[in-house]
């Protein structure tokens, strides 16, 4: 099982490489990738430096071009694919059919991975991308239970990568437009969910209020820490109740499922968080490297060590973690 770690900048890339990543994934400094945040990502010079650094330590570099170009932006996505090819990345992570078509025709030797943003949850979908564009690997959306993941792996024509840790999209990636419903910008079109420029916090007599655009996403009591106003993680009223109507702000942590993921034939574990700090990347990479190594050595006696979870909890959103959709015992 390969450990695939995020890097939003060169220090993070080095942190991932130095702490045991098998591969690092990055994006360019524009809306061609789904973490198009201010101050984040790589220009060509930085990407070249990063790839050289990773290569020296035997670590692979993937580049995400995983948003959906509209007609007026098409050339930008084409240029991004060309840039990735000339940089010599080890794989391109794509979602859009048009982009995959262009990349596979223009650069037939370039490895293509299917991004989580392609929203493919079943093996028939994966067969489409494999047969038409020769993808080598697919990242599954965070909506499947472990038994469903196993079923996909058994029937998939390509290797499967799953998310192991990080912020949790509770919606199926690539087909959620809550962000653009409120702001006009979505991960698909603009490369960011709930973009920061639409976010406001305001102290009021009712408490600290967080808004995305004009929409009040939450109110926080005196002893509560205000969270980022992602719509799916807000508190809303349904019926007579005010609660996290969609999802509690927790992080995904599948450390304890590692032996099962390994037995299922998962090819790679992905860590979320290109928008996070180099310290986060270092810490999470270190823990997961140790855990994967321990699991490989002796899967039968593997258990998630308390200190690992303690380290991960320190950097988790909401400071609590969940097994997410993987653990659904009734299925």
Which chain residues interact with another protein by CB under 8 A?
A: 68-72, 74, 95-99, 101-102, 118-125, 127-129, 131-132, 143-145, 148, 151, 170-172, 174-178, 180-184, 186, 188-189, 213, 215-219, 232, 235-239, 241-242, 245-247, 325, 328, 330-331
Strand (E) or helix (H) holding 151: helix 146-155
Distance, CA of 94 to CA of 304 (rounded, Å): 32
Least distance between another protein and beta carbon 131 (Å): 8
Tell me whether strands 215-220 and 241-243 are parallel, antiparallel or unpaired.
unpaired
Minimum Å gap between C-beta 130 and another protein is: 10
Q: Which is nearer to another protein, 87 or 97 (CB)?
A: 97
Comparison of 50 and 213: residue with beta carbon closer to another protein = 213
CA separation for the pair 243, 70 (Å, rounded): 36
Q: Name the residue nearer to another protein (CB basis): 245 or 279.
A: 245
Q: What is the DSSP string of 57-118?
A: TT-EEEEEE-S---GGGHHHHHHHHHHHHHHT-SEEEE--HHHHHHHHHH-TTS-EEE-GGG
Q: Choose between 180 and 309: whose C-beta lies nearer to another protein.
A: 180
Phi and psi, residue 164, nearest 5° = -105, -30
Token duo for residue 49: 């430096």
Judge whether 270 and 139 are in contact, CB under 8 Å. Answer: yes
Q: CB of residue 41 vs another protein: minimum separation in angstroms?
A: 21
Cβ atoms of 172 and 271 within 8 Å: the answer is no
Q: Which is nearer to another protein, 28 or 135 (CB)?
A: 135
* Closest CB 209 distance from another protein, rounded Å: 8
Rounded Cα–Cα distance for residues 248 and 259 (Å): 27
Nearer Cβ to another protein (33/283):
33
Nearest approach, Cβ of residue 8 and another protein (Å): 25
CB of 161 to another protein, least distance (A): 17
CA 269/CA 42 separation, integer angstroms: 23
Q: What is the four-CA torsion angle of 94, 28, 34, 324, rounded to 10 degrees?
A: 80
Q: Which is nearer to another protein, 60 or 113 (CB)?
A: 113
* CB of residue 5 to another protein, shortest distance in Å: 25
């Amino acid at each position: 099982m390969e450990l695939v770690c995020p890097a939003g900048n060169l220090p993070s890339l080095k942190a991932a490489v130095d702490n045991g990543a098998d591969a690092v994934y990055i994006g360019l400094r524009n809306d061609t990738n789904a973490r198009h945040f201010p101050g984040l990502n790589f220009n060509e010079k930085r990407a070249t430096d990063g790839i050289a650094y990773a290569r020296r330590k035997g670590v692979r570099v993937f580049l995400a071009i995983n948003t959906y170009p509209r007609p007026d932006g098409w050339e930008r996505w084409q240029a991004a694919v060309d840039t990735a090819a000339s940089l010599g990345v080890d794989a391109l992570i794509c979602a859009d059919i048009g982009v995959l078509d262009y990349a596979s025709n223009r650069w037939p030797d370039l490895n293509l991975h299917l991004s989580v943003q392609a929203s493919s949850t079943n093996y028939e979908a994966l067969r489409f991308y494999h047969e038409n564009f020769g993808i080598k690997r697919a990242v599954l959306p965070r909506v499947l239970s472990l038994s469903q993941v196993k079923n996909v792996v058994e029937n998939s024509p390509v290797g499967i990568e799953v998310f192991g840790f990080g912020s949790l999209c509770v919606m199926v990636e690539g087909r959620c437009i809550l962000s653009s419903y409120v702001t006009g910008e979505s991960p698909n079109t603009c490369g960011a969910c709930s973009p920061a420029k639409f976010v406001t916090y305001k102290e009021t007599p009712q408490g600290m209020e967080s808004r995305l655009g004009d929409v009040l996403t939450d109110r926080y009591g005196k002893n509560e820490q205000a969270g980022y106003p992602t719509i799916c993680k807000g508190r809303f009223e349904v019926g007579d109740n005010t609660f996290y109507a969609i999802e509690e702000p927790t992080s995904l942590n599948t450390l304890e499922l590692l032996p099962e993921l390994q037995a299922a034939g998962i090819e790679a574990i992905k860590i979320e968080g290109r928008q996070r700090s180099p310290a986060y990347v270092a810490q999470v990479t270190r823990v997961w490297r140790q855990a994967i190594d321990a699991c490989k050595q002796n899967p039968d006696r593997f258990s998630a060590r308390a200190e690992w979870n303690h380290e991960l909890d320190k950097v988790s959103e909401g400071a609590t973690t969940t097994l997410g959709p993987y653990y659904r015992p009734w299925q």
